[in-house]
């Protein structure tokens, strides 16, 4: 993902989360795995960065497009559906990755793992009429 212009989430809570992530070397909430996800805006083409909790599944990073239980998908999810090439920052390291929605079988297996790590996701699922997607993000092999 090559570009120089990047914007952070306009959501004040997320912007503060990004700031804390950077200040703490990627550990803004001890005991919770957080990362920064950069997607390309589906209309603007501008790089957009947000902070998210994640769980691991082998080499994959699993993200939850909960939007706090809102009736619409978060913008970052719509962006990666349009352009699945993303960048993850985990701790102090960044790397390119490829994102895709989890299959139904993967989601069925992963939801218990996700809600065990972040119980609030169970409440978000109960509060919305939409299916909250899980996203599988796989690091791209290093060029060379």
pLDDT at 6: 82
Q: What is the pTM of this model?
A: 0.90
CATH class for domain 6-139? Answer: mainly beta
Strands (E), 66-133: 85-90, 93-101
Averaged pLDDT, groups of 10, the chain, 144 residues long = 71 87 84 93 93 96 93 95 96 96 98 94 92 96 69
pLDDT at 143: 64
Strands 47-53 and 6-8: what pairing? parallel
pLDDT at 12: 87
Residue 106, SS3 per DSSP: helix
Q: How distant, in Å, are the alpha carbons of 8, 33, 46, 69 from that of 110?
A: 28, 16, 31, 18
Residue 82, SS3 per DSSP: helix
- Kindly state the helix (H) or strand (E) to which residue 138 belongs, with its residue range: strand 134-139
Instruction: Provide the residue ranges of all domains of the chain, joining segments of one domain with +.
Output: 6-139
pLDDT at 9: 82
Q: How far apart are CA 13 and CA 28, in angstroms?
A: 12
**For residue 69, what is the DSSP state?**
G
């Amino acid at each position: 993902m090559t570009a120089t212009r990047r914007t952070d989430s306009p959501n004040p809570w997320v912007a503060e989360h990004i700031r804390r992530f950077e200040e703490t070397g990627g550990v803004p909430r001890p005991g919770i795995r957080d990362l920064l996800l950069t997607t390309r805006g589906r209309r603007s083409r501008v790089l957009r960065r947000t902070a998210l909790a994640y769980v691991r599944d082998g080499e994959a990073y699993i993200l939850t497009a909960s939007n706090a239980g809102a009736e619409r998908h978060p913008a970052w999810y719509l962006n990666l559906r349009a352009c699945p090439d993303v960048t993850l920052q985990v701790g102090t390291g960044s790397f390119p990755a490829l994102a895709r929605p989890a299959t139904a079988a993967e989601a069925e297996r992963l939801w218990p793992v996700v809600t065990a790590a972040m119980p609030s996701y169970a409440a978000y699922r109960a509060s919305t009429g939409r299916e909250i997607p899980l996203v599988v993000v796989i690091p791209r092999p290093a060029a060379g």
